[in-house]
Amino acid sequence: MAIDFLLPELGENIESADVVNVLVAEGDQIHANQSVVELETDKAVVEIPCPHAGRVAKVHVSKGQKIKVGQKLITVEPIGQSAAPPTAAPSAPAAVAVAGPAISPSAAPAKPSAPVVPAPARPSAPAVPAPAGPSAPAVPAPAGPSAPAVPAPTMPSASAVSAPAPLTSVPVSPSAQVSPAPGAVCPVTGAVLSGLKPPAPEPAGWQEAAPQAASASIVPELIPAGPAARRLARELGVDLRTVQGTGPRGRIRPEDVQAAAARQIAPGAVPVAPPTVPPPTPSAKTPIAPELAQPWQPVVPPGTPDKDAWGPIRREPMPRIRRTIAAQMVRSVSTIPHVTNFDDADITELEALRKSIPQGFLGPEVRLTLMPFLMKAVALTLRRHPAMNASLDMTPDNEQIIYKEYVNIGVAVDTPRGLVVPVVRNVDRMTIPEIARAVAEVAQRARTAQFTIEETRGGTFTISNLGAVGGTYSTPIINFPEVALLLVGRSRWMPVVRGEQIEKRLMLPLSLSYDHRLVDGATAARFLNEVIDWLQNPGKLLLMG
């Protein structure tokens, strides 16, 4: 019986999602808990696994479609039911079983020289006919009190069945249609088998190997890997069965997949099994990133070609993440009176300290950047300036200031789908190495869109780093309902007057936007001065952990 797989609950207050990719096609064989669709919800992209195993009979969604919780995704035919012949009569017994041929007593008599092999007896199994020509050997039917006699079909002698060998090693003509006996049960799945056609004739012994091959294809190995690791494996063409997991209980992490991919292409690496899923090829509609295109080559925008009164255009439905960002930005600027302070921090000593740390000292996948030092400085300062670590509840007859006694810092990450802000929690209690590892993890999860909605909630302050892209100062929009946001520009060498001398110093531009309903200009200036003091004295910062 076919099973309809419906979209399950995706999270609190999430009623719909957009289909980013359909990972299966009609006719595919899937195993239990295999991902079948990739959905985008607000700022997260998640893969939805199907708990049912079998053949995909129907795909009910398509890429770009908006679907609701409870809507039908795919229809699955369980293994053992999808191959049933549609024209089989209910009362007609199946054709000859591999376990041994049999014919009814009314069939033509057997030749004396033909060997006779009795098939295993079942009290409730009916007699089944074997294809027989005029010279076909006669084989007694299984013994059973309720076995009805069924006339044997006639076939040309050229396709007659050869003399039976013991038990399951009966060679069958390619033209003979072979089906399991009625009531036969698969030893692996327990499903009732009927109407299966055999493959092309194989050498002797193929019948013995068939059950093992079937069990290997029906019950695949369960691989302990999350959506992020599986998605990365598909992109890199890595077979997860060849990857040794280093996570808890052998769970495969994205870092393990990257290491496996590096071993595949490294000279002298140990050969691994070829990937079962080919790496995805870029779509013709996928726009080329400006930094990847030639300087003189224009970038083709995404969308469907169209035309307006002035020339050709392209139209693209706004992605859910972009709609979410737009609504959040409008809400922030229409609610919060923004003010921005600008200043610079001398990070010459801090940069020298950072560069003195050997590469890979914190781990092979952790790169020590300025961000962990900056987050630690901000976290320590927030604990001394409660108004910067608060929010406003302006509901009628309530109007309260909510001071947070925890420090959760959001890190703005530029991703192919848009800006997302995953949150690192309890930063004030973390050491700088712990912050570095946490930032590397959340940034990777954000760029691969493998994070949950909860990971973007609960922030008390946000830091946006434009240094990798460029620029100095900006007027960032606050991440509502927070009351402040710090934007960091690209550090640059500048002449600075120190005492009576002009020195070359590495200066970091800072832009602090704040909610003027709660934060006064003097409060913001003191906060920013203290952050700068921590950055300009890295020794104190290290002593604080």
Q: Which residues are catalytic?
A: 516
Distance, CA of 164 to CA of 170 (rounded, Å): 5
Locate tokens 């479609």: which residue? 65
Name 93's Cβ contacts closer than 8 Å, sequence gap at least 6: 126, 127, 128, 129, 148, 150, 182
Give the 3-state secondary structure of residue 153: coil
Identify the DSSP state of 47.
Answer: E
Whether residue 209 contacts residue 239, with contact meaning beta carbons closer than 8 Å, is answered with no
Give the 3-state secondary structure of residue 268: coil
Q: Is the peptide bond before 224 cis (omega within 30 degrees of 0)?
A: no
Whether residue 380 contacts residue 427, with contact meaning beta carbons closer than 8 Å, is answered with no
**CA separation (Å) from 116 to 62, 123, 128, 137, 359?**
57, 21, 16, 8, 77
Distance, CA of 124 to CA of 181 (rounded, Å): 11
HSE-up of 464 (CA within 13 Å, CB side)?
A: 24
Distance, CA of 393 to CA of 531 (rounded, Å): 27
